Amino acid sequence: MKDRYSTRLDRRTMLALFGSGSAAALAGCLGGDDGAETTTPAGTETTSDEVPDAYRTATALNGNERDPGSLVAKSDLSYQPEPKNGQQCSGCAYYVPDKNDDGVGACTIVEGTIEPTGYCTSYVAHEDETSSGDNQARSPTDVPQDAQCAVCNMKAANFPTWNAQAVHADDTREFFCTSGCATTYYAVPGEFADTDADIAGLWVRDMESRDLVDGTTAYYALETDADRLDDPMRVNPAPFAAREDAVAYVDEVEYLTEDDIVELAAFDRELAEQYRGQLLE
């Protein structure tokens, strides 16, 4: 039976096979059902998400709720208790500030307590609207007709229901034809960006409304079937502003589960290879 997103679903079996390796690997990274325990490769269970109850489902600076079942080990993201290049957890969109005056907080990406002075490779600068003096630079703009995708060089304006964009802290703005190119750029900016400045904002098309939505707080269904959405560039992660829309999306097919719904911070080189491997060095 076709779902409402599908154009051709007769290739499901082949595409499920194509996506199974990376999806399983990602699900493994995201941990078990309750998030309180992880299983080592040797099968030894260790309790690692030890946080006071006040943090278990607390809200991060970006407004996202912490899910104890979807956290990553500190070592997976090279977490360190010290800042790096002036970036630290207290300024990260995923940080949950101190709630009990013990000087540490938590995170909606990484398990356990988190030092405000810490840092990991999923750092995304939090845009503090009360202190921002340049909201225009932190908002999406119209896509210039001649803007080329920063990853694949196609004209972003040719894909009005798919294109995306990002802005760096130095106001360098880039456009993308699709969510797949945008998330690849986020995962490996060193291969495509003309600036070393942090990515300060990223917007993608919600697959429900096709409006541009905040990509740093969106939920991405790791689609593997290029025909389901008639994707440009063959296949793309499917972004949704609301988690319930992402859940409804994966529920409509057999080859995706809620384990295949991730946030922007989950996009790493492995996923970049899955979606745009042909464009990476």
Distance CA 142, CA 140 (A): 7
Region binding ligand SF4 by CB under 6 A among candidate stretches 62-70, 103-111, 173-181, 271-279:
103-111
240 CB-near residues (< 8 Å, 6+ apart): 206, 207, 208, 213, 218, 219, 220, 221, 246, 249
Q: Which position among 120, 181, 182, 266 is part of the footprint of ligand SF4 (CB under 6 A)?
A: 120
- In whole angstroms, the minimum distance from the beta carbon of 90 to ligand SF4 comes to 8
- In whole angstroms, the minimum distance from the beta carbon of 24 to ligand SF4 comes to 23
Binding of ligand SF4 at residue 94 (CB under 6 A)?
Answer: yes
Per-residue x/- track, 61-90, ligand SF4 (CB under 6 A): ------------------x---------x-
Residue 40 burial class via C-beta count within 10 angstroms: exposed 0-12, middle 13-18, buried 19 and up = exposed
* 3 state SS of 4: coil
Q: Which position among 71, 104, 107, 238 is part of the footprint of ligand SF4 (CB under 6 A)?
A: 107
- In whole angstroms, the minimum distance from the beta carbon of 109 to ligand SF4 comes to 4
Contact 109, 77 (CB under 8 A): yes
Q: Which of 49, 128, 131 is nearest to 92 (CA)?
A: 128
Number of other residues whose CB lies within 10 A of the CB of residue 29 = 18
Region binding ligand SF4 by CB under 6 A among candidate stretches 5-13, 32-40, 111-119, 154-162:
111-119
Which residues make up the interface to ligand SF4 (CB under 6 A)?
Answer: 79, 89, 92, 94-95, 107, 109-110, 114, 118-120, 122-123, 265
